[in-house]
Amino acid sequence: MKIITTPQLDFHNVLIRPKRTTISSRSQVDLERDMTFPHSTMTWKGTPIIAANMDTTGTFEVYDVLSKHKMITCFNKFYNLKSFQNRLKKKSLDPDYFMISTGIDESQISNLHDIVELTAAKWICIDVANGYMEQVVNYCQKVRQSFPDKIIVAGNVATREMVEELIINGKVDVVKVGIGPGSACLTRLKTGVGVPQLSAIIECADAAHGLGAHIIADGGCTCPGDVAKAFGAGADFVMLGGMFAGHDEGKGKIVKSNGSKYIEFYGSSSTIANKKHYGGLSDYRSSEGRTVRVKYRGKIEDTILNIFGGIRSSCTYVGAPSLKQLSKCTTFVKVTNQYNRTFVD
């Protein structure tokens, strides 16, 4: 048995320490980044925030709004070839601002080929709950052989050694980091497995950047301040599920309760997701996701602008003229309380 005694921290355990700054306005902060990749020959420029590939966030309607802000939507796995054909009859898709999601079922690789060819996709996201399986690395290798020029994302993991394995042997460009931090995830309760997300980001970013690759911080953000902390900790991209849930563009069912409106939001490994997409939960598995009701939030545009405003403000507090420089300017202070909750309901 081994026990790591070094403190492992989550977003709520820290605050960003303010520093002297010459920036006089949030409008001076540049949120766009230019990216190159270790294996793909492609480049990318945009705002590195991604809508998660869940049913109610990884939709065409969410893409239509996020792409205007040069943000990425990771389409849910359940959009098939016909879904994309129908979409392209009505509207085009900009390859810079969407990802095609896939699992590691090799019988589906021909379907992936068809979708990538049809959409001219630039990004492929190989998405599994447990990125530590040897099968994931092997599948990543095959996808790289099939798509040598594409930007390949894979995960999820939460430690240095697996980040390095996916980049070096899996030939992945971007590693998705987060085991169990999501608001609709029950992995930590069901399995006892995980790493506090802030510490996971710091460790995994250090590993990826040493190899010229990048990470996506996936899960655990509850507010714009958490998004800023993720970038400050070294994340190159931040993926949001719960923060982008509850909007009109997610196409979720609106439920009324006690005079308030809610939209159902559920994890990809939840019982409802398994029933909807796989005909039910296999008897050798337990549900590692849950269903929650998120307060109805209206248009996603307002949430996007709120997140942007928070990140820009974070940059001005530490003297970072651009999002790229935020991690270089960030010092975290460990805290026992983030804010005064006296009048919070």
Question: Which residues are designated catalytic?
Answer: 185
DSSP string spanning 236-301? Answer: SEEEESGGG-SBGGGTPPEEEETTEEEEEEE-TTBHHHHHHHHSS--TT----B-EEEEEP-B-HH
Query: Integer distance in angstroms from the first to the last C-alpha of the chain?
Result: 43
Q: Can you name the residues that pair with 45 across neighbouring β-strands?
A: 34
- Residue 124 CB contacts under 8 Å (≥ 6 apart), including other chains: 99, 100, 102, 112, 116, 143, 147, 150, 151, 152, 153
Q: Which of 29, 33, 63 is nearest to 47 (CA)?
A: 33
Q: Cα separation of 80 and 313, whole Å?
A: 40
- Cα atoms in the Cβ-side hemisphere of radius 13 Å centred on 111: 17
CA 183 to chain centre: 13
Q: Cα separation of 273 and 255, whole Å?
A: 18
Please report, to the nearest 10 degrees, the dihedral formed by the alpha carbons of residues 227, 218, 340, 315 taken in order: -10
Structure tokens at 97: 């601002």
Q: Cα separation of 55 and 77, whole Å?
A: 8
